[in-house]
Chains A and B, each alone.
Chain A
Amino acid sequence: MSFALLAPLGLAALAALFVPIVIHLVRRLELRTTEFAALRWISERIRPRRRLRFERPWLLLLRLALLALVALLLARPVLTEPPGQQASRVLVAPGSDLAAARTAASTGNADWRWLAPGFPAIETPAPTTNVPLASLLREADAALPANATLAVIVPAEVAGLDGERPVLAHAVDWHVVPGRMASNGTAPPSGKVAIAVRYAPSAEASVKYLDAAIAALNASGARTYTLDAEPQNVPIPAAAQALVWLGAEPTPAVTAWIEAGGTAIVDRQPHASGAPAWRDADGNVIARVAPGGRGRLVALAFQFSPNELPALLDADFPAHLRDLIEGEAPPPTRAPAEAMQPHTGATSGAIVAPPASTKPIDPWLALAIALLVLIERVVATRTREPA
């Protein structure tokens, strides 16, 4: 345990100590007045000496101690753990082979923990929840004392990354062991997507462009898209994941379907609101997407026909259609662990590693101050017994 001040400038408040000293000094200079009839025989040769004496020294000491404690409180004192023993921590990412990890990081007396929210001990079962690996790495780095060593054991393929390689304050012992981290929820898209098309009689000609786009998607992507094109009086099947509503305003049934969680594409909506989801080469907004209930409504500004929407004929239309139906693809979160070794040397401005486990003693100090205030009041207001 050692003692440190987080704001040493607060000690400048010690300058206030001179106030009670001055008060007690000034009062000392007053003379006691005594009525004395035999004044004639008192010689005035010896003047009263002006001694540097303090009146009621105990009260003065109390007041000085009180002020000193307040100044100390302003300086924010903390107790810090002794830096003698080097903390050494090993973080194991879920999915790593533990046996391989033990051999990889054979530090003797390290603190082994899962690299998971809350940093559970290694003895507990491996966490299976989503692990934001990069964020956790930064958190662990920030919580470690400056002189601690940090070893991280990761499987060959890591997930839960974000935009950049982590930049940490500590040098990281980065061990890659066989294994694979579980994916973070958004699995790579696969399976079938059923798309229902409901067209007004005037828009029947547009369906073939959809057909062509779906065929192109089925040929290239991992997912299989099926198209169910019917006139608008046919009800929407429950299995449909997307709906293309052509040539007419959406009916209440369509709105209800969207709010139940579906994604619908509606054409001829030039005044629709929502975020731009598709722009042409000139930057004009072709489609806007707006949330509706639990689903999404994609509003095309134009009629779904090559006359008004030449982009239908472009080669990238199927990809745009897929984006409109499925939303933007999430940023990549997986990477080979070898490539994600963190950089060392986060500037202190970016990440401040606080001194090893500091314990503020403010509450105790405040308690002591309150106690001193009480004692001071009692001492100061106590009537002095007649001498």
Chain B
Amino acid sequence: MAAVALIPADVRARLKHLRLRARHGAGGDGLGQHASRSRGAGLEFAQYRAYEPGDEPRRIDWKLFARSDRYFVRESERDSPLTLWLVIDASASMAQADGAKPHWRKLHAAKTIAACAIELALRQGDRFGLIALAAGGPTLIAADAGSRHRDRCLLELEKIECAGAWPAEPALRPLWERVLPSSLVLVLSDFFDDAAADLALRFAAARREVLTIQMLSADERDFPFDGGHRFVDPESGAERRVEAAAIRSDFLDRFKTARANLSRRFAASGIRHAEYFLDTAPDLPLQHFFGAVGARVRA
């Protein structure tokens, strides 16, 4: 099955210690594992509130009515499911791979991380949806739950190909209709395009809980090139002819600064941010986001 190819066995084994967890309560309907701000019928008492016309009579606390001669409705906290949106950058720059491992592209890593997140959501009964952003506009699969929906998403994941640049602003409008507030948004991108970072910041500003994973190759981290090189940008086709060894330290400095800036901007907006390098295990960023919290919850 496709999921077997997407998630290596060792990664899948490590996933069982992880739990998706939103910082804010979820607001959806139905029964789930996440604390929600919704009040209603449930196990854990939350509060009494005054009766309003339309409330079911069976939810009136009759004992309290006997004592106070007023109608009160008993409300409890409701555990509700989370909605996880996976936003995958499928622009041409995500085709980048390491020279040492030319078939393990950033997009493949992003697909694997997305598949892992889908497995986590499925295990917890959460809803999940998939958005792939390529030049032609977003490919969108509406949020839903269940293993059939998981398979649908995995099939769609398999089909994603890198092409073109980050889509223009009008093409992104459907996202705002689908990605409802309080849902968890996991953005997988290299964030080399400022528009990607902008999208994440705007989601965060609009009360979506945003997690970002910056997909980076080991070549970008180490810059192991030597001799004369012609570097070509896969998206714009622009090129730089440089002496690689001479500019290494300069590039590493500037790139590190850029990454730090991005991280700072995200942190300022309440976005949890992680970096993923292509030569590390694909579940590392998920461990960073969910592992420690999950461990604390279990303890």
Contacts and interface: CB of A to CB of B under 8 A. Distances in A.
B192 A34 contact: no
Among B92, B94, B95, B240, find the residue whose CB has the most chain A CB atoms closer than 10 A. B240
A44 interface: yes
B61 interface: no
Contacts of B229: 31-34, 48
A26 to B, nearest CB: 14
B233 A43 contact: no
B238 interface: yes
Nearest to B231: A36
Contact of A41 (B95, B99, B254): B254
A37 B241 contact: no
Given A41-B254, A43-B251, A43-B254, A33 B232 contact: yes
- Most chain B beta-carbon contacts within 10 A, residue among A31, A37, A45, A48: A37
B242 A48 contact: yes
Contacts of B235: 37
B36 interface: no
Nearest to A48: B228
Given A34-B231, A48-B243, A42 B251 contact: yes
B161 to A, nearest CB: 16
A46 B242 contact: yes
A99 B5 CA distance: 107
A37 B192 contact: yes
Contact of A38 (B95, B192, B228, B239): B192
Interface in B58-111: 92-96, 99
B230 interface: yes
Contacts of A40: 192, 258
A37 B189 CA distance: 12
Interface residues of A, number: 20
Contacts of B250: 43, 45
Nearest to A49: B243
A225 to B, nearest CB: 106
The interface residues of chain A, by DSSP majority, are classed as loop
Contacts of A385: none
B95 A46 contact: no
Most buried by B among A32, A35, A41, A48: A41
B228 A31 contact: yes
B247 to A, nearest CB: 5
A32 B241 CA distance: 10
B232 A47 contact: no
Contact of B247 (A32, A35, A42): A42
Interface string B240-256: 11110011001100110
Contact of B231 (A42, A45, A49, A387): A42
A37 B190 contact: yes
Contacts of A49: 228, 243
A40 B234 CA distance: 12
A39 interface: yes
B227 interface: yes
Contacts of B247: 42-43, 45-46
A41 B232 contact: no
B230 A42 contact: no
A32 B228 contact: yes
B275 interface: no
Contacts of A387: 99
A47 B241 contact: yes
Contacts of A39: 231-233, 236, 238-240
Contact of B96 (A36, A41, A42, A44): A36
Given A42-B231, A47-B243, A48-B243, A35 B254 contact: no
Given A39-B231, A41-B258, A34 B246 contact: no
A348 B243 CA distance: 66
A39 B190 CA distance: 12
A46 B246 contact: yes
Contacts of B241: 31, 44, 47-48
B248 to A, nearest CB: 10
A381 to B, nearest CB: 24
Greatest chain A CB density within 10 A among B231, B236, B251 is at B231
A45 B219 CA distance: 20
A35 B240 contact: no
B225 interface: yes
Given A33-B230, A41-B258, A43-B247, 19 more contacts: A32-B227, A32-B230, A34-B99, A35-B233, A36-B232, A37-B233, A37-B235, A39-B238, A40-B258, A41-B251, A41-B255, A43-B242, A43-B250, A44-B240, A46-B243, A46-B247, A48-B227, A48-B229, A48-B242
15 contacts: A32-B229, A35-B232, A36-B220, A36-B231, A37-B93, A37-B96, A39-B236, A39-B238, A39-B240, A41-B251, A45-B250, A46-B242, A48-B228, A48-B241, A49-B243
Interface of B: 92-96, 99, 190, 192, 219-220, 225, 227-236, 238-243, 246-247, 250-251, 254-255, 258
Ranked 6 nearest A-B pairs via Cβ? A48-B228, A37-B93, A36-B231, A39-B233, A31-B230, A41-B254
